[in-house]
Every structure is written in structure tokens, then in C-alpha cells.
Amino acid sequence: MAPELMNRLFAERGMDAVLVPISATAGDLEIVVDGLKHMGNLDGFLVTVPHKLALGRQADRLTGAAKMAGSVNAMRREPDGAWLGDNFDGQGFVRGLLSAGHSIAGKRFTLVGAGGAGVSIAAAILGAGASALSIVDVEHSRAQALVVRLGAHWPDLARASDSPDPASDVVVNATPLGLRETDPLPFAIDGLKPDVVIADIIMKPPQTRLLRESARRGMRTHPGLPMLAEQIPLYREFFRIP
């Protein structure tokens, strides 16, 4: 969906530019990115799952947000030829949640998925004033590592857990589960508060099985598209689009 939104922006601005999707396996990623960096007419590119963590290691420089996340979802060519990586997932998620009328400050959150997007979202949630954050990941060590990283900036607010905190005001799915209709739910929704907000960062399908099942139980839901839509102005600034 990013190419559609960005190409619309280019057209509105009368720019001779285009964003095209490129598919690369993990094994070919380094070769593909090296080739992209050598293209003289390429000003930058966006990065999606599952390559955000790997691309963080291929950037020449990282912004503060990208260093915090340890991953990137956007890279641009600097005037000296170096490649700068940034990550706007967290800002986009927070902006999207707030624009939908949900609160963050003083609220208890559970984040399911401590990958590239999840790390960025975790930092943004705490930066926006959340009172507590439980982090769940199939690799418990990855959740624990994120707790340690966050603790350097927000002591005692984050903890690793095996399942969502039943007292959570918001539970966020930052895993790929839900991209396919046959995927299992990323976490059990039974036992959560009736007024909990279930948020998903998956954009296609716009209504994942998780969101549908939650809505059937009367829970409030928040889809993934606002996270991307709220990143477009950030991309515009990052890529210096007039």
C-alpha cells in the first residue's frame, strides 16, 4: 500500500518520481541492497517485514529512533553518498492511535511481537506516556532483551511476559500473524477486559481475523492502515519531498 500512497503524493506534487515494490529473500538481501545503493537515480527506499532488522545493519548512519529500534523502515541517500536509516513505525502507530480517539498517556499496554516494527512501537508507546508495557514474543529472550533496552530510557515500565496482561487497556499485534486467513490468532483474547482496545499493525487484509474476533466480543478495535497513513507526512519530510 505504500507505493500507492507515495505515488499519489508524487503525482500531486508534479514530481518525476516513482516508488516500486521489490521482492528479495533474506539470502539475497545484501546483494539486492548493494545493487540499489549503486543506482545513480535512486534517492531512497522503504523497508518492510521481514527485513527491517537486517537493513538496520546495512545503513551507514542511523537516526536516534532507528538506533533505539535497532531496525529501519526507510533509507535515504545523503549528499555525501552515505545511506541514512530511520524508523517511523512507532511514530506512525502512536499518531494513528491518537487520531482514532484512543488514549496512550497513563494507559497499560501489551505488545505482542518484539521484531523490527514492535521495537519501534514499544519505544513510541512509552515515549507517549504509557504507564506500563508488557512485551510478549515467541522468543522470550527477544522480549527480555527489549525490556533491557527500554529500561535504559524508561526504568521499570516494561516487562517480558508469556501472555497479554489481563489489565491491559490496549493490546497490540506486531507479529505477521493475520496476513493469511489461515493464520492462528497471535494471542488469546479471552480473559482481556471488555473495554480493551485490540490494535493490529497488519494492513492487508484491513480487517484481520484478530480484529473480527475481537469485534464479535464487543471489544474496540484499531486496524493497521492508520499506522501507514500517518507515516506519509514523516516520509515526505525524511525524503525532502516539497
Grid cell 514530481 is found at 15
Sign of CA dihedral 35, 20, 90, 145: negative
61/145 Cα distance (integer angstroms): 23
196/171 Cα distance (integer angstroms): 7
Looking at 37, 52, 107, 193, which residue is catalytic? Answer: 52
Reading the block at residue 177, the C-alpha cell is: 500473524
**What order of strands is seen across the sheet that includes strand 83-86?**
44-46, 74-77, 83-86, 61-62
226/95 Cα distance (integer angstroms): 8
DSSP-assigned states of every residue in 154-171 = STTSEEEESS--TT-SEE
Residue 52 annotated in active site? yes
Active-site annotation, residues: 52
